[in-house]
Chain A
Amino acid sequence: MKPLNLLALLVFLAGLTWALTRSERSVREIQATYYRAISPFLTVGSSLEARARAFLDEVEHSKLLEAEVGAMRDDYGRLKLIESQFRKVEEENAALRRALDFQERTRFEVVAARVTRRQPTTWWQTVEIDRGEASGIATAYTVVTDQGLVGKIDRLGDQRSTVLLLTDEACQVSAKVEGSPEVGILQGQREQFGGVPTLRLRFLSRDARLREGMRVFSTGRGGLFPADLLLGEIDRLEPGPLASEALVRPSVDFQNLGTVFVLTPQKEES
């Protein structure tokens, strides 16, 4: 081997060792810097894409869009009314809890975000959304839709972030089954293609009695996800010698994710 090649290889190995020994925090900083650097290009690209799509939609479906906007306005008004009622009830609830000296339930604000990119990586089940640190989002924040839990924020940029979906093997949720004492850990399964992905609920008791269609919710334990978020429904129980497992159909339609909501941290009550 030529001396120059050998020297280059040694320098490369030193660089590789440096990269492999980065701490979690350093990696997060590197990723944040990377996202910041490419963010302007992505924003320009996304806005061009959005404009083009909006233009085509407008040309092709202007009447349909008009009807949809009308319907959305109606829905918006109705939801505003419901929200105001909900706030009143929530305030009343909080006041009653305070009066009873109960621990106050965690409250969240939500940030709406649009899914801008699906499956940006080869092996991980992720999507990208158009909200980031600038919108008050941080790593590990919970992402939901009206159907249930979507996942959690994994990588973060100023104007965009990546959501690790519930269907990914790395996304674990402490879960409970409605109408039964069973609790377990729900997670996605490796390499599922086509159709509706199924989740696996593990560490159930050996003689778990679960029926198809029973709903699965988050327990709120473990500090990752808030309690009582709908995760899915039991599809099938697989009894085992030591512990049972169940296959769960997710409540969220992951094929058609459009708008999602990021739960930002609880508000401090005065």
Chain B
Amino acid sequence: MIRYTASLILLVLLAVILQQFIPAFTPLFGSRLMLVVLVFLCAASTVSAPVMLLLAFLCGFLADAENALATQAGDPEVYTRPVESLRFGYSIALYAVMGYLMQGIQPLFRQGKWQFSALLSGIAVFLYLLVEYLLINFVRGGFSFTRWTFLRIAFSSGITMLLSPVVFWLLFQLADRSQYRIRFDGLKRRTRTPAY
């Protein structure tokens, strides 16, 4: 368990570095492959709630360290209405909510139906980006939601979801190597009770 958790943390850190080299897909409305989010979502399906929360904190913290904007420190007499930005730490909460969402269908995952988790990872990314955008609208005021925004969120979720089988495969390999058991009830051979 500890070895698997440690390897997940290393995998998250590796994803953070790889993410730096993945460009945005400009022809697809600036959508992007959200590798760190995907690794977290897939990992959340395979671990207990405490470990999921640990990963949520780590991923959210790193996401905000990379993305949080500084507040504009101009003269308040000139810049009377500074633009608010999302507070450092909000991503941690978002990650945790998504993690709980993934754990909601953990029983299906443990039965070997990983396809549901893969599909849910796409839905979770969609919800993550949607909530993030709505939060930006909320703190800055002036609601706007264009078709382009929707397509950007949709394509980002779709592209990210497509990679989820690879991440699941990677997690199974890690689990094998760290002797962590991701239980597959569905793959167990059923033993019939002899009728007397």
Contacts and interface: CB of A to CB of B under 8 A. Distances in A.
Interface string A86-128: 0000000000000000000000000000000111111110000
Contacts of B152: 122, 193
Interface in B12-37: 16-17, 20-21, 23-24, 26, 29-30, 32, 34
Contacts of B149: 191
A257 to B, nearest CB: 14
Interface residues of A, number: 52
Nearest to B84: A170
Interface in A7-41: 7-9, 11-12, 15-16, 19-20, 22, 24, 27-28, 30-31, 33-34, 38, 41
A169 B92 contact: no
B75 A164 contact: no
Interface of B: 16-17, 20-21, 23-24, 26, 29-30, 32, 34, 48-50, 53-54, 56-57, 60-62, 64-75, 77-79, 81-83, 85, 87-90, 92-93, 96, 129, 132-133, 136-137, 140, 142, 144, 146, 148-149, 152, 156
Interface of A: 4-5, 7-9, 11-12, 15-16, 19-20, 22, 24, 27-28, 30-31, 33-34, 38, 41-42, 45, 49, 117-124, 139-140, 154-155, 164, 169-172, 174, 185, 187, 190-191, 193-194, 221-224
18 contacts: A8-B53, A12-B54, A20-B90, A22-B89, A24-B70, A34-B62, A140-B73, A155-B70, A164-B69, A170-B83, A174-B78, A174-B79, A190-B137, A190-B142, A193-B152, A194-B148, A221-B78, A222-B77
In order of increasing CB-CB distance, the 10 nearest A-B pairs are A19-B89, A222-B78, A8-B50, A34-B65, A20-B89, A12-B53, A222-B74, A193-B148, A224-B74, A170-B83
